[in-house]
Structure 1
Amino acid sequence: MRELVTLQLGGFANFIGSHFWNFQDELVGLASDPESDPVFKNPYLNMDVLYRTGETQQGLLTYTPRLVSVDFQGSLGSLSSCGSLYSGVSSAPSDIVTWTGGVSTHASEPHKKNLFLRSLYEEEQENFATMNGTNSGKNDSRREIQDKDIVECLDNDVQFWTDFSKVHYHPQSLYELRGLWMDAQEFDNYGIGKDVFTGGFRGEEICDRLRFFVEECDHIQGFQFVVDDSGGFSSVAAEFLENIADEYANTPVLLYAVRGPDSHMSLRSRKQTIFKELHDAVSFSRLAPFSKLIVPVGLPFLSTSKASTFLHIKDEKPYHCSAVYAAALHSTSIPFRVEPVGPSADSGDVSGAMEVNGLIQMLAGQARQNMVAILDVSMPAPALTGKQGERSLLGSLQPLTPDVADDVEDLQAVESMTIHGALGSGGHYASVPEVKDTVHAMYEQAMSRPMFCHLSVARPPLPIPLPFPSIFGNLVGRRGELLGSPVSGSSSRGSLDVHSVPMAVKLRSSSVVLPYIENRLGNLRRFGIERGAPGAELLRSWGFGKDELDDLGETLSKMVMALDPHSQLSSDSD
């Protein structure tokens, strides 16, 4: 088997991860539920690619994500860093190892479980009692009312990414950065996180956790790395990635550099602008060389973007925005877990298996060595109905990557598209051949087309679990179909109204990402490298010398040159 290990660093990355693993948990449950829609019972989607099997000391079989999550101490809310399955695991030792004087302990009150987490606990207790023959036969007639209360509670009161997580985690998965003595608002730049990974044995402890998951893999296909690069976690990630490159040189890294809505707040002074622009330039130029492919994700205002045409997003809520980004990451990961379909097997359910290395070689392994990909999404994807529908499917794909150019034709573009849960005529789930024929016809009619496009198709749509936010508009139906007239009632619909949605996503290597790279290169030179640059002292305080800054500029310049050899910014001359 070709396993995938996932890494999540930083607050917003873990918000995305929480939704991502909720989707996986929902798929696992639907596949084993005899009463669920048969479309979710797909033998060619191998969830073991993402999950590991285990057993507790009490003999309880477990199925947990192959995951290492890193965040601030206290970011887990009511969840223990040991998870909830292995209660006997001791907590990590204190960082104070040489102090011989008196020690006083000040313990804060533990966070209380919200309504959703309490309902999960009660449901598990009922299931345990049923397995042991001690169930009192309680009536579930109030479940609908309870679910409505849960949805309302989550929409109003989510503070931590664990508040809406329905997944059990292995005790090696959750790592809290201890001893930082600062809050998330202060941990806001590359320099402040530069020594965090190497200090206090943190790097060794995090790498040991990663090693735990890697060593039990039969044949790991890659790392799916999600980092909140808007603050100090970008430098933590750079140190971590450098260690991964040394220890797992032949294992490719697919890196998603994500940004939450608060990272795009308006800047009130020139000093703040320089501070942010230099962080963005340094962060990107340090992360990119350690990943085979980097995908920037996070729009300044998701709510007003074309990607949210049928959604009602509140930008100020990470719980909302992270759900959309997680849905896109779920869809891009589908080819990695598709079992190759032989000629004698049923090919009507899935097609287009691809490993991480295959994706990277296709997108980043061209002659121009492009290392940056754009992520596009259509949520929900339109139905495959007639020529109008065929054209709208391509048009409905909108970028989740910021600062990309519009209406730029790139004849050298390479794309990898994934479509799953597509609805055909009559509202049925379209077969793989139907989707393929539609996409091929769509490209034949398109004004411009990529040099190459790989297509992966699966019939199971994106399941919408109970803790998913109420972000669908009133033109979205129960199975994600786009309605001709709005549904009466609330303008926002959630998991009680929408049970699944068809999805289309696309990763593309294209020169339309040039503005993203050029902005960072230009700002690094203007504010940090040129003679008299106003941010030169700031970069020195972050630990960067002139030679290292020149190397960062050279890295960005080569990326620009690879995409546009005629760009003035690709020149080394200042």
Structure 2
Amino acid sequence: MREIVTIQVGGFANFIGSHFWNFQDEMLGLAADQTADSVFKAQNLNMDVLYRTGETQQGTLTYTPRLLSVDFHGSLGSMSSLGTLYNDGFSAPADVITWTGNVSTHASEPRKKNLFLQSLYQEENSINGGKDDSLNQIPQKDIVDCLDKDVHCWTDFSKVHFHPQSLYELNGLWMDIQEFDNYGIGRDVFSENLRGEEICDRLRFFVEECDHIQGFQFMVDDSGGFSAIAADFLENIADEYTNTPALLYTVRGSGSHLNLRSRKQKVVRDLHDAVSFSRLASFSKMIVPIGLPFLSESKVSSFLHIEDEKPYHCSAVYAAALHSASLPFRMEMPGPTADSSEICGAIDVNGIVQMLAGQARQNMVAILDVTMPAPGLTGTEDQQSLLGNLQSLTPEVVEDAEDLQVVESLIVQGAFTEGDHRASVSEVKNAVQAAYERATTRPMFCHLSTALCPLPIPLPFPSIFGNLIGQQGELLGSPILGSQSRGSLDVHSIPMAARLRSSSAVLPFLENRLENLRKFGINRGAPGTELLRSWGFGKDELEDFGETLSKMVMTLKPDFERSSDSD
């Protein structure tokens, strides 16, 4: 077994995680559905990599994500922190007989389930022998449409059962999420009130039951105080699980890129970005920044209709990319039971890290590219190839950067060939090889993973598909009449392609953080010195951060040291 433990820290990271686990749940359901497309029945993916088996006190077998989620108190909406499978209901505490004074009770109303969650409850109730059919007459379209208006937290569209150890709420933080907006404000949260011990104990629960853990898949919303919590958590992980790699995705919603009104606000944000990235990077084997300022205006959204102000929309795209990027970790390794005609390119977390961190690129930064949905493999002259449609989800990246040391991991799933037929593994291999041969620049090395199984679109997926996308995700020659946006009732699955790459194209991202750290925090008379001191950082620690960023830049830009010295 090659288990992965997934960690989600912060609001937007949990939005992405909710979509990610919905994809996994949909794949499990389609694999067991006798009426589903046969392509979902022969996935050759080992879901035990991400999931654990268990049993409730009543003897009911469970299959839940090997997940630890950390978020604000109240972020679970109508869901209990115990999940749903193991929750036997709330019992009021017994009266304290030693107290003789007056007693007042303050109870908040439980958050109401939206129409989608009500439908899930009704469906499970009927499976368990319940009689409530009150929602049977509500059209499925109304249930899906309600999500665009009624998603306030990530559990509002989650259709997955969680283990009681999975959901951790940060109690005792008496502040609004808008106030929790910089590294300093989250600096001591992990260590206070035994929170760090409690969180590490929950992680230990999942790790100790693994036979042979291959790594941690860590997502953190790094736009505010959660980055400090994640850094402290990662430091503990690095100390306790020395040989277990952590693949870190730092994620941001579009709202975190809003224009700042004053210079002071900009200095705070720039210093936060520099300190946050430097400290997070130092405790992970590979860090992948994700989150474009305006996803709706990027080339990624060529066939999508996204509302940037809705985390429910943006997180769906990022989750789809992470699903595809993580497929190689779950693929069956070559052997007598693996069918190479259905799937190829299995590799574990450590293998990806070692491959992309070649040429001494340690603690390196990887770029995540995606095309959604992926175009057919045999495009005409006026159509871009699958490779040409890959667009970066990592911000501040140079397009078409010339780097002779580029290393890539390319994942293609459910691709179509001519006539909208599913492409075989060999056809994908041949098409990718031909595309690289025609390209003006090609990577030093490319690892290809491919699977016939496309990305299934679960019911609570947002209606973000344009009218040029068909039911199976094929790109149409003419638009479908009607609504501009189509959802899970119209599009059942889509082909996907994702790519992780090590490239000097990420240099602007790194150089901006290094320059801002020096200008606002390290140089003599820097305007942010007092602010960083209030965050708990001294001069020596800031210089260490600068050195960390300098080494990252130097690795990708060998002449950087000479130019810095001459300055």
Q: TM-score range by the shorter chain?
A: over 0.9
Q: 1:139 to 1:246 in 2, by over 3 A?
A: closer
Q: Percent identity?
A: 73
Determine helix, strand or coil for the equivalent of 1:149: helix
Q: Which string of whole-angstrom CA distances, capped at 9 and with x for unpartnered residues, describes residues 136-174 of structure 1?
A: 9x79984xx521111110011210100000000000000
Determine helix, strand or coil for the equivalent of 1:516: helix
- What is the alpha-carbon distance in structure 2 between the residues aligned to residue 534 and residue 569 of structure 1? 27
Using the TM superposition, give the Cα deviation of residue 374 of structure 1 relative to its aligned residue in structure 2, in angstroms: 0.3
The answer to whether the 8 Å contact 1:82/1:91 transfers is no
Q: 1:89 to 1:542 in 2, by over 3 A?
A: farther
Determine helix, strand or coil for the equivalent of 1:206: helix
Counterpart selection for 1:216 from 191, 209, 212: 209
Counterpart selection for 1:392 from 377, 385, 398: 385
Partner of 2:42: 42
Matched, 1:334 2:327: yes
Partner of 1:517: 510
Partner of 2:96: none
Unaligned runs of 5+ in 2: 94-98
The answer to whether the 8 Å contact 1:190/1:235 transfers is yes
Partner of 2:152: 159
Matched, 1:69 2:57: no
Partner of 1:424: 417
Determine helix, strand or coil for the equivalent of 1:571: helix
Residue range with higher mean Cα deviation, 411-420 or 383-392: 383-392
- What is the alpha-carbon distance in structure 2 between the residues aligned to residue 346 and residue 244 of structure 1? 36
Using the TM superposition, give the Cα deviation of residue 367 of structure 1 relative to its aligned residue in structure 2, in angstroms: 2.6
Counterpart selection for 2:441 from 448, 473, 483: 448
Q: 1:202 to 1:141 in 2, by over 3 A?
A: closer
Partner of 1:8: 8
Counterpart selection for 1:468 from 456, 461, 465: 461
Partner of 1:233: 226
Partner of 1:457: 450
Aligned length, in residue pairs: 562
Using the TM superposition, give the Cα deviation of residue 571 of structure 1 relative to its aligned residue in structure 2, in angstroms: 3.4
- What is the alpha-carbon distance in structure 2 between the residues aligned to residue 422 and residue 331 of structure 1? 12
Partner of 2:81: 81
Letter in 2 for 1:120: L
Using the TM superposition, give the Cα deviation of residue 366 of structure 1 relative to its aligned residue in structure 2, in angstroms: 2.6
Q: 1:414 to 1:370 in 2, by over 3 A?
A: farther
Using the TM superposition, give the Cα deviation of residue 365 of structure 1 relative to its aligned residue in structure 2, in angstroms: 3.5
Partner of 2:294: 301
- What is the alpha-carbon distance in structure 2 between the residues aligned to residue 460 and residue 502 of structure 1? 8
- What is the alpha-carbon distance in structure 1 between the residues aligned to residue 203 and residue 9 of structure 2? 13
Counterpart selection for 1:506 from 491, 499, 502: 499
Matched, 1:364 2:371: no
Partner of 1:96: none
Determine helix, strand or coil for the equivalent of 1:361: helix
Q: Which string of whole-angstrom CA distances, capped at 9 and with x for unpartnered residues, describes residues 37-96 of structure 1?
A: 000012520111000011111111111000000000000000000000111388999xxx
Counterpart selection for 1:168 from 152, 161, 167: 161
Q: 1:191 to 1:499 in 2, by over 3 A?
A: same
Query: RMSD of the TM alignment (CA)?
Result: 2.2
Q: Which string of whole-angstrom CA distances, capped at 9 and with x for unpartnered residues, describes residues 166-195 of structure 1?
A: 000000000000001111111100000010
Unaligned runs of 5+ in 1: 94-98
Partner of 2:487: 494
- What is the alpha-carbon distance in structure 2 between the residues aligned to residue 199 and residue 92 of structure 1? 27
Matched, 1:243 2:257: no
Letter in 2 for 1:369: Q
- What is the alpha-carbon distance in structure 2 between the residues aligned to residue 18 and residue 106 of structure 1? 31
Using the TM superposition, give the Cα deviation of residue 298 of structure 1 relative to its aligned residue in structure 2, in angstroms: 0.1
- What is the alpha-carbon distance in structure 2 between the residues aligned to residue 511 and residue 110 of structure 1? 50
Using the TM superposition, give the Cα deviation of residue 101 of structure 1 relative to its aligned residue in structure 2, in angstroms: 10
Determine helix, strand or coil for the equivalent of 1:276: helix
The answer to whether the 8 Å contact 1:353/1:456 transfers is yes
- What is the alpha-carbon distance in structure 2 between the residues aligned to residue 572 and residue 70 of structure 1? 43
Letter in 2 for 1:182: M
Using the TM superposition, give the Cα deviation of residue 388 of structure 1 relative to its aligned residue in structure 2, in angstroms: 4.1
Q: 1:100 to 1:469 in 2, by over 3 A?
A: farther
Matched, 1:292 2:258: no
- What is the alpha-carbon distance in structure 2 between the residues aligned to residue 101 and residue 290 of structure 1? 52
TM-score if structure 2 supplies the norm length?
Answer: 0.95
Q: 1:103 to 1:185 in 2, by over 3 A?
A: farther
